[in-house]
Structure 1
Amino acid sequence: MNPSFAQANPQPLAAGDPVHDAVLGAAMTPLNTEFGRNVELAVERIDRLGNWAFVIGNMRSPGGGRIDVSGTRFADAAEQGAMSDVYVALLRREGDAAGDASDGARESVAAGAGPAAPAEAAARDQAGLPQEDADAAVAAEAPQTGHWTVVDFAIGPGDVAWLGWPQEHAAPRALFGF
């Protein structure tokens, strides 16, 4: 008989929640770097599990249509129909050395870089701790200071680019819905 492991549940973040706004602000950094302020994100969901957050949505121009990628590194892919409107980002909350949270929305991008140490939530996920114990422990350990850092992201992927992120970044599988 195969054992069944409980997993901590991600918490959906609602628009207007300060954590939602801080996560979304940080998640937009790669899009703003690529396209300037000419892109908005129609958020499908923003979920948080401890120090981790996952953002998925569709990129839109400020008028609501498809974004203009001409003159960018995505132009050829879009012209060939190999670029979706999807944007995904994995973020981790990092503590401030001085303990200063200021507005909580400071942005930092480390595209493709993993966290320095495995996340506690991922360790609990892998260990199969009981649901209520994992949820309480993750919530208790979530720092109240710090900033959200983009750990990885995908702009216009043609497949499920985030499928390997739990292993690559020691992020909890439950955060991604699988």
Structure 2
Amino acid sequence: MPFFQSPKPTEVGPKHPLRKPLLDALRPRIEGDLKQPVLFRVTKLHVLGDFAFVVCEPRTPADKPIDFKKTHYKSEIDQQVFDGATTYALLKKIGGKWKAVEHVIGPTDVAWSNWAGPPHNAPKALLGLP
């Protein structure tokens, strides 16, 4: 067993005080991308240090699926390189406030793996990377 183990991410559940600030920081970025208001169905929300990693599905305010064919993702859907509504996002605490710095919707691969390198250098443990 190694002498030093890297810290483990903290799960941010529904009643955790960071949940609302994190999702509120992500919301404008996703709403800007999709050009519509959204709410989130969260699959994973973890924090480690000044970073947060979110796996979620954006939904309409009525909690219905978003019709991605009515967004700029239509061409990816038509080319069969869009793998559904699952959204991955990286947030970073900057100047004491959470800010969404990266996101990807419907990737067909591990599109977030490069977030562990420059310019973000997010903890690999947070992203679920070896």
- For the aligned pair, the TM-score class normalised by the smaller chain equals 0.7 to 0.9
TM-score (norm: length of structure 1): 0.63
In structure 1, list runs of 5 or more residues that go unmatched.
96-145
- CA-based RMSD: 2.0
Which amino acid counterpart does residue 174 of structure 1 have in structure 2? A
The question of whether the paired residues in 2 share the 8 Å contact of 1:47 and 1:54 is answered with: yes
More strand by percentage: 2
Displaced runs of 4 or more, over 6 A:
none
TM (normalized to structure 2)? 0.83
Give the count of matched residue pairs: 126
The answer to whether the Cα contact below 8 Å between 2:27 and 2:38 also exists between their aligned partners in 1 is no
Matching residue of 1:172: 123
Give 1:161's aligned residue.
111
> Who wins on radius of gyration, i.e. which is larger?
1
1:15 aligns with 2:14: yes
Unaligned runs of 5+ in 2: none
Contact 1:38 1:67 in 2 (8 A): no
- The offset of 1:28, in angstroms, is 1.8
Does residue 41 of structure 1 match 2:40? yes
* % identity of equivalent residues: 32
Q: In the alignment, which residue of structure 1 is the partner of 2:102?
A: 152
- AA of the residue aligned to 2:47: R
For 2:58, give the aligned amino acid.
M
Structure with larger RCO (C-alpha < 8 A, sep 6+): 1
Instruction: Summarize deviations over 1:102-123 as a string: whole Å, max 9, x none.
Output: xxxxxxxxxxxxxxxxxxxxxx
Paired residues of 2:35 and 2:71 also in contact (CA < 8 A): no
> Which residue matches 2:54?
55
